[in-house]
Structures are given as C-alpha cells and as structure tokens.
A and B are shown apart, each in its own frame.
Chain A
Amino acid sequence: MAKRAAPEVNAGSMADIAFLLLIFFLVTTTIETDSGLNRKLPPMEDQVDPPIIRQKNIFTVLVSKNDQLLVEEELADIADLRSLAIAFLDNGGGVGDEACDYCQGERDETSSDNPDKAIISLKNDRETSYKVYIAVQNELVAAYNDLRNREFERLYPSLGINFVQAQKQYDDPRTPVEVAEELKPKLDQVKAMFPQKLSEAESAKLN
C-alpha cells in the first residue's frame, strides 16, 4: 500500500474554540472588591481597672428589638442621628485642661467635654435586625467622618481634598510612597482630634 501523508488538521475552528473559552472566563470573572464598615472589637480580657467615665461623656444609642432608636433615653429618628452625634462629639464643654479649641459646638456643660473624652456607646437587642444596626453604624461613622472632613479641610485647604478622600488615597496601593508618607501625619493628626470611640457593647437583656 502506498504511504499516505497525514492530512493536515484544519485549524480554522481554533478561533471559535478560543472565543468560547474567552466568553466563559469573561462571564465568570469578578474583579469587584468588597467594601464595608471596618470595626475593631474590644479584646476579651476584662480591664483590671476600668477608667471612670463621666455620664455626660457617654452618648448612648440603643436599638430596640422593634428596631426603634433610643438616643440618650429618648426616642429618635434615624435621620436625626447624624446631627445628634455631631452635636455631642463637637460640643467641647470642657474647661481648663479639657477645653477643646477647635470644637464649634454649643459648649453645653451637660454634654461632652471634648472629642477625646466623648464615647458613643451603641447597644442593641438580640432581636434587632442587622440592616437597621448597619444603618445606625453607618450614621455614626458618618458623624465622625463629617467632623474629620471639616477639620481636615480647615487645616489643609491647599490639598483640596477632604479627610475621606485623603484616607482613600492613602489606602490605595497605587499612590506613590512619597505622597502616602506625606499624607500619613496629616491623617493621624485629624484622627487624633476626633478619635473614633465607638463602643459596641455586648447585648444586654433589654425589655
């Protein structure tokens, strides 16, 4: 029998196959990155010597099992929460050592001394729904962010950005190292002016 040359494989459909695979990977690709509210939990071990905190420096927010909001023991609407929290944090009622020279609040003696002392205590019931809890958290973080934005813009008007944008720029790995190094002390300074003291207490039995 005569020796036959192997017939050449037709590669015309190669592109089709490749396209098929391409479309598959295009569809399954998720380049999205998750985002959310970053929080830090308190460590487990009990403090040996709990610091004494004056009642006027604590801003209690309580979300009941019916998802109602109690701010400083009074029923409040979630839309007002941000301004209430800002008023509390920015109050600056302290005198002498505890005075706050950048606060623009009412300087009410029955409210917080200065932002460094002011603590927001967030409590919830076991029956509180998660989405309302997140909404409340969001508004409290927003209160801090609003104040930090204000101070950042006041201190560094030449940058033309606010605190949140600066923080974002600092976190972005594409930002050049020099720029990030320059931003860091500024961010830390503003953070120290309004430290985020938001305590998420373990849920007490509420009725």
Chain B
Amino acid sequence: MSKFKKKKGGDLPAISTASLPDIVFMLLFFFMVATVMRDSTLMVTNKLPAADQVQKLDKKDRVMYIYAGKPSSRYEDKYGSSARVQLNDKFASVNEVGAFILAERASKRQELQNVLTTALKVDSETKMGLIQDIKQELRKVSALKINYTTRVGDYTQNLN
C-alpha cells in the first residue's frame, strides 16, 4: 500500500504551446503601440550631412519637419532636378513655408505652441540659397527655434 507509486515511463511530457499566441500577441501589441509610421513619404533625396556636436531633438509632437533636396528619381521628370522644398506630402515653393508653419502651429496643443522646433531635413547636396530663403520665411512667422537635422558622424565626411 505504497502511497507514492513510481510513475511509469520516463518520457517528458510535451511542452504546451497553447500560450504561444498570447505571448506573440503581447509582443505584437507592444510594437503596434511603439510604432511611429513615417508620416510623410519622402519625395526628395535626403542624405543628411554629418555632424558630431549634435543635440537630441525634442519629442516628436513638438517638432515640425521641413524637407528639402533634389526630387528623387521617381519625380525627376515631372519636377526637374533642382532642389525643392517638401512640406507634408507634396512639393511646395519656398513662400508656402510660412503658411505651413502657421497651420502646423495651430494644430498643436496650446501649451506646446511656443516651444515648437522646426527641423530642417535638408539633403547635403543642396545649395545654401534655398536654406537661406527658408530661414527668412521662418523668421517672418517667428519660428526661431530651428534644428539642422544631421546624422552623427565626423564632419570630414562632408568635405569630399
């Protein structure tokens, strides 16, 4: 009358995989929440210049992006190959920048409206003339905090 019978057979029971979907879903939800989709498709070439004295950009909701550069090969025959400004999803001329900034500013929450930064994502092959014009437009609407977005690297990479 032994209470502790020896189990028969030494086979390991198969590990249940029933909770696998749950784990995967958990990961899935994490990535779904953490994902920030690229809000605008790039229509310009955007190889950023390198710099090493960089500071991190503010949180995404405090930043307005202005892209500039040559139209990418897909749009080259339609828009030519001289550098253009891209606001949101379309090409724009420089004098639309002011209106864009005002519209963007109005769409942000009240308390964020005077801490906004304008990030200039400009292709390294652009001429300063265009950037000068953008800066002038920004000054007109007093969007004075700007950030020349760069990639992190040594400045000598810019010189060839």
Contacts and interface: CB of A to CB of B under 8 A. Distances in A.
Interface in A131-174: 131-135, 137-139, 141-142, 145, 167-168, 171
Contact of A130 (B31, B122, B145): B122
22 contacts: A22-B27, A25-B28, A34-B57, A35-B149, A39-B147, A41-B138, A43-B142, A44-B142, A127-B128, A127-B129, A128-B127, A129-B124, A129-B127, A130-B124, A131-B159, A134-B148, A135-B51, A135-B156, A138-B51, A138-B155, A168-B55, A200-B135
Nearest to A167: B55
Interface string B83-121: 000000000000000000000000000000000010101
A116 to B, nearest CB: 21
Interface stretch (A11-19, A97-105, A107-115, A187-195): A11-19
A15 B26 CA distance: 12
A66 interface: no
A34 B149 CA distance: 7
Given A40-B144, A130-B122, A124 B128 contact: yes
A203 interface: yes
A28 B37 contact: yes
Given A38-B117, A39-B146, 5 more contacts: A22-B27, A35-B150, A36-B147, A40-B145, A42-B139
Query: Which DSSP category, helix, strand, loop or mixed, fits chain B's interface?
Result: mixed
A41 B132 contact: no
Contact of A133 (B27, B128, B145, B147): B128
For chain A, which range describes its interface: under 10, 10 to 19, 20 to 34, or 35 or more residues? Answer: 35 or more
For chain B, which range describes its interface: under 10, 10 to 19, 20 to 34, or 35 or more residues? Answer: 35 or more
A36 B147 CA distance: 6
B144 A41 contact: yes
B55 A38 contact: yes
Interface of B: 17, 20-21, 24-25, 27-28, 31-32, 34-38, 49-57, 63, 117, 119, 121-129, 131-132, 135-136, 138-140, 142-150, 152, 155-156, 158-159
A135 B49 contact: yes
Nearest to B126: A130
A21 interface: yes
A128 B128 contact: yes
Nearest to A128: B128
A167 B147 CA distance: 17
B24 A22 contact: yes
